[in-house]
Amino acid sequence: MAEPTEPKLEGDVASDKVLQGIGAIRGVATGRARVILDLSEAANFHQGEILVCMMTAPPWTILFPKAEAVVTDTGSVLSQASIASREYGIP
């Protein structure tokens, strides 16, 4: 009998892939990265995932309580994503 397997989600990558960047708050996070290109995809984001997006704006903070971490393509330590991450205590 075949071993049950977890479904492969679109965009899965090998577990040996590591993303690094400049942190807005001290900390380390591990977990499944979920790319969200538009806030209309928010229903696809699940508790404990790492939010990966181009940038955030105040409406995006609805995802932060579920996020293990936030990764953006643009921004700085003074960007909205950085400020909100510090408020929620997530890297």
Residue-range domains of the chain with CATH? 33-88 (3.50.30.10)
The three-class DSSP label of residue 14 is: coil
| Cβ–Cβ < 8 Å for 71, 54 | no
**Tens of pLDDT, residues 21-32:** 678 888 888 999
- Whole-model pTM? 0.76
- With a CB cutoff of 8 Å and minimum separation 6, the contacts of 53 are 35, 36, 37, 60, 70, 71, 72, 73
Q: Cα–Cα distance between 80 and 90 in angstroms, integer?
A: 13
**Tens of pLDDT, residues 30-59:** 999 999 999 999 999 999 999 999 999 999
